[in-house]
Structure 1
Amino acid sequence: MNKSTTERLAEFMSLMEINNNMLTVAAGLSVGQIGKAIANNSGINSTSIEKILFAYPNINPEWLLTGKGEMLKTATVVKIEDDNSTSVQEPDYKILYEEAKYTIALQKKYIENLEARLDDQ
């Protein structure tokens, strides 16, 4: 059985060592909303999901909502359709750089968590 959106969010939070309060503050959510949703494995409304994705831009929305793909998204070149033609927009390298720095920080946390788990075994 697939995990729910709430379970996947809890998985991300655990991996990144983000507690309910940290996520609530970062995403501008109601106090207690995330804790209750995780405790009850209840759904999260679309507005809250949007706020979470905005606060944590490297969460792959498809993974969060469906479980498909990787937890963290990767930067891609945007295709623009105009008058039945497709062109490729030049990526914003400053954004790519910032996303890469953020991804590296998340990967370091992930590695630290894995190492801690190995030490505990």
Structure 2
Amino acid sequence: MDSVLKRIKEIANQEGVSVTALEASIGASKGVFSRALANGTDIQSKWLVKLAENYPQYSPQWLLTGEGEMRKADVLRDLEEKYASGHSTDLTNELIKALKKVISSQETTIQSQAATITALQKRIGELENGK
């Protein structure tokens, strides 16, 4: 899977829903993802933000780049398996690295949400002023 849209489709498959149902679950109109998948076109970044907000168990890094684990919990599970099988002698350092990745992912989400809040506050101000 090498495109964001294919990864979105993979999330739908993991959730056991259609792409159309996934669209509805984030408030997107019918066809936002499915048309883009069919036509090979781009989607608006706001839908990626909505997807990350509504499905926090999936890694935003993976969604955007295809790198890393698909699910955030998989990072910790992999560490537990390494530790249990004796492959990692320094679990603390591995855990710190994994947690830093999760924190970085959350910071990205927070920054995106802050930008959305700012835009919404601006729009509310405009509406209140009659613009």
**Same fold (TM > 0.5):** yes
More helix by share: 2
- Which structure has the bigger radius of gyration? 2
Can you list the C-alpha shifts for 1:81-118, whole angstroms capped at 9, x where unaligned? xxxxxxxxxxxxxxxxxxxxxxxxxxxxxxxxxxxxxx
The answer to whether the 8 A contact 1:7-1:41 is kept is: no
The answer to whether the 8 A contact 1:5-1:43 is kept is: no
How far did residue 64 of structure 1 move?
Answer: 0.5
Q: Flag structure 2 segments of 5+ consecutive residues without an equivalent.
A: 77-98, 104-131
The answer to whether the 8 A contact 1:27-1:55 is kept is: yes
Amino acid in the other structure paired with 1:53: A
How far did residue 59 of structure 1 move?
Answer: 1.1
**SS of residue paired to 2:58:** coil
Query: What's the counterpart of residue 49 of structure 1?
Result: 48
How far did residue 18 of structure 1 move?
Answer: 1.6
- Number of residue equivalences: 78
More strand by share: 1
The separation in 1 between residues aligned to 2:9 and 2:20, in whole angstroms, is 13
Identical counterparts, % of pairs: 33
Q: Bigger CA drift: 19-28 or 61-70?
A: 19-28
Q: Flag structure 1 segments of 5+ consecutive residues without an equivalent.
A: 80-121
Give the TM-score normalised by the residue count of structure 1: 0.56
How far did residue 27 of structure 1 move?
Answer: 0.5
Q: Flag as ranges the 4+ runs of structure 1 deviating above 4 A.
A: none
1:28-47 matches, within 5 Å, as 28-47=27-46
- Which structure is higher in RCO with an 8 Å CA cutoff and minimum separation 6? 1
Query: What's the counterpart of residue 64 of structure 2?
Result: 65
RMSD (CA atoms): 2.2
